[in-house]
Chain A
Amino acid sequence: NAGVMQNPRHLVRRRGQEARLRCSPMKGHSHVYWYRQLPEEGLKFMVYLQKENIIDESGMPKERFSAEFPKEGPSILRIQQVVRGDSAAYFCASSHAVGTSGYGYTFGSGTRLTVV
């Protein structure tokens, strides 16, 4: 029973390129959350998705960032035209039902994005 799988672990992009981060939730989990950890900071909520639906995207930057969780396949966090300030660790977490925050989410190992 694999945990939350994120890939790639490390991603280097030049300014202006696109970054695509993938997250496969735990088996049986249909809820996915993305968090961003900037250097020397805590994790900040970005977006909460269920299969084919965005439930809460209040933490997403208004431009260049998008997320999806299709019926089949992993959740994708997409960053267009990356800038140096996007350099961070991006973590994905999953749960099997809404309102299960009391059980704590299962986090992936993260994708560390470096924009050069």
Chain B
Amino acid sequence: AQSVTQLDSQVPVFEEAPVELRCNYSSSVSVYLFWYVQYPNQGLQLLLKYLSGSTLVESINGFEAEFNKSQTSFHLRKPSVHISDTAEYFCAVSETSGSRLTFGEGTQLTVNP
């Protein structure tokens, strides 16, 4: 079984500031890692994923996450946030051979002007 811990439930930042949303996972087997974003009253959208290969993965809108196997972490970062990045962000994990996603509790990112 896997578990995911998102260390911050809320992260307020000012526009154009850098941000890091932290995620740690626990699993006894190989995993895939994901970040999803949820805007108010909407479904989840896949932001980025780590499957294999390079430990640094990027999204099209400037977010990046780094898989750190020794620390079992997959923190999400952005060097300069926009107001439009305000949303809830979920870290998720699945076994490489499985089909179920296990989600963290979510981090509410609020970008203030």
List residues of chain A with CB under 8 Å of any chain B CB: 4, 6, 31, 33, 35, 41-45, 48, 55-56, 91, 93, 95, 98-105, 107-110, 112
Nearest CB of B to A12, in Å: 15
Instruction: Say whether A101 contacts B99, CB under 8 Å.
Output: yes
- Which residues in A have their C-beta under 8 angstroms from that of B42? 109-110
The one of B41, B95, B101 in contact with A105, judged by C-beta atoms closer than 8 angstroms, is: B101
Are B100 and A91 interface neighbours, CB within 8 A?
no
How long is the Cα–Cα vector from A107 to B42 in the complex, in angstroms?
10
Contact of B97 among A42, A95, A99, A110 (CB under 8 A): A99
A70 to B30, CA, bound (A): 33
Residues of B within 8 A of A93 (CB): 101
Residues of chain B from 90 to 107 with CB closer than 8 A to chain A in the complex: 90, 94-106
Contact count band on B: 20 to 34
A-B residue pairs in contact (CB < 8 Å), sample of 18:
A33-B100, A33-B101, A35-B101, A41-B105, A42-B4, A42-B90, A43-B44, A44-B103, A48-B99, A100-B99, A101-B95, A101-B101, A102-B32, A102-B94, A107-B45, A109-B43, A110-B42, A110-B43
A42 touching B106, Cβ below 8 Å = yes
Across the interface, B94 reaches (CB within 8 A) one of A91, A98, A101, namely A101
Of B36, B51, B101, B102, which is in contact with the most chain A CB atoms at under 10 Å from its CB? Answer: B101
Whether B100 and A48, one on each chain, are in contact in the complex, defined by CB atoms closer than 8 angstroms, is yes
Q: Is the CB of A107 within 8 A of B44?
A: yes
Out of A48, A56, A91, A104, name the residue touching B43 (CB < 8 Å): A91
Taking a contact as CB atoms under 8 Å apart, the answer to whether A95 and B43 are in contact is no
Q: In the complex, which residue of chain A has the Cβ closest to the Cβ of B88?
A: A42
- Shortest Cβ gap from A22 to chain B (Å): 15
With A45-B100, A98-B99 given, can you name 17 additional A-B contacts, CB distance below 8 Å?
Answer: A31-B99, A33-B99, A42-B4, A42-B103, A42-B106, A43-B90, A91-B43, A93-B101, A99-B99, A100-B99, A101-B101, A102-B51, A102-B94, A104-B49, A105-B101, A107-B45, A109-B43
